[in-house]
């Protein structure tokens, strides 16, 4: 009886399988390179995240910031002016939204002023002005489409603390604004 050494065939088959797997890995789409995400725990991390996003120049990018815990924002108004396609700012826990407290030296929380941004979503957050906050705005968004979901906004001073939202399409759902917080919603630029 003649014996046949099948080891070369096994090795060849193994190499063929490895080559196939490698080719599939190369051909498979990688994780979205155009999606940038940040988890932030304090004002400094938030400022760094916005600065990083503003330095990007990818009109197809989706920027996501997740606020992990409550903190006080004492810096001037934070300005997002990237030309990314989407920006999402969200609290980590929709059942217990973290609070961003605007300190006396803060001019407000966020300004998005770019119609090149197709979609801006802010959800699962609370904004509050501490005593002494005299900023003229708490939240201002100008984009093509804007969604505000599960947001509460309250100002402690007697001065109006407006939330301005403008866009081609604007949706404000499940949100609460205190008596001294003016909510302005409009189509197009203000």
Residue 1 lies in a domain: no
HSE on the CB side for 163, CA within 13 Å?
Answer: 23
Residue 24 has pLDDT above 80, yes or no: no
Which pLDDT score is estimated for 52?
92
**Token digits of residue 163:** 């939330």
Residue 25 lies in a domain: no
Residue 35 bridge partners (DSSP)? 62
Kindly report the three-state secondary structure assignment for every residue of 57-78: CCCCCEEEEEECCCEEECCCCE
Which pLDDT score is estimated for 11?
44
Residue 142 bridge partners (DSSP)? 113, 166
pTM: 0.76
Q: Are 127 and 98 in contact (CB under 8 A)?
A: no
Closest CA to 50 of 12, 88, 24: 88
Query: What contacts 118, CB < 8 A, 6 or more positions away?
Result: 85, 86, 143, 144, 145
Tally of structural domains, the chain = 1
Residue 6 lies in a domain: no
Query: What contacts 180, CB < 8 A, 6 or more positions away?
Result: 155, 157, 158, 159, 160, 161
Residue 2 lies in a domain: no
Residue 17 lies in a domain: no
Residue 20 has pLDDT above 50, yes or no: no
Residue 144 lies in a domain: yes
HSE on the CB side for 50, CA within 13 Å?
Answer: 16
Query: How many whole angstroms from its chain centre is CA 143?
Result: 14
Residue 56 lies in a domain: yes
Range of the structural domain that residue 55 is part of: 32-187
Residue 13 has pLDDT above 70, yes or no: no
Q: Looking at residues 38-52, what average pLDDT do you find?
A: 94
Which pLDDT score is estimated for 64?
96
Residue 155 has pLDDT above 50, yes or no: yes
Poorest-pLDDT segment among 4-13, 64-73, 161-170, 174-183: 4-13
Residue 110 has pLDDT above 90, yes or no: no
Poorest-pLDDT segment among 3-12, 50-59, 100-109, 174-183: 3-12
Residue 23 lies in a domain: no
């Amino acid at each position: 009886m003649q014996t046949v050494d099948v080891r070369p065939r096994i090795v060849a088959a193994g190499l063929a399988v490895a080559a196939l797997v490698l080719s599939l890995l190369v051909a498979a789409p990688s994780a979205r390179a155009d999606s940038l995400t940040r988890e932030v725990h304090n004002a400094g991390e938030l400022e760094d995240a916005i600065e990083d996003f503003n330095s990007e120049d990818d009109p197809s990018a989706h920027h996501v910031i997740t606020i992990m815990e409550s903190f006080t924002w004492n810096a001037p108004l934070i300005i997002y002016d990237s030309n990314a396609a989407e920006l999402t700012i969200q609290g980590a826990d929709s059942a217990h939204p973290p609070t961003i407290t605007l300190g006396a030296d803060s001019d407000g929380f966020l300004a998005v002023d770019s119609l090149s941004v197709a979609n801006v979503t802010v959800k699962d957050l609370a904004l509050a002005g501490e005593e002494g906050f005299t900023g003229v705005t708490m939240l201002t968004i100008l984009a093509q489409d804007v969604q505000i979901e599960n947001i509460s906004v309250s100002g402690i001073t007697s001065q109006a603390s407006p939330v301005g939202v403008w866009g081609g399409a604007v949706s404000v759902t499940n949100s609460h604004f205190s008596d001294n917080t003016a909510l302005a919603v409009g189509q197009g630029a203000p």
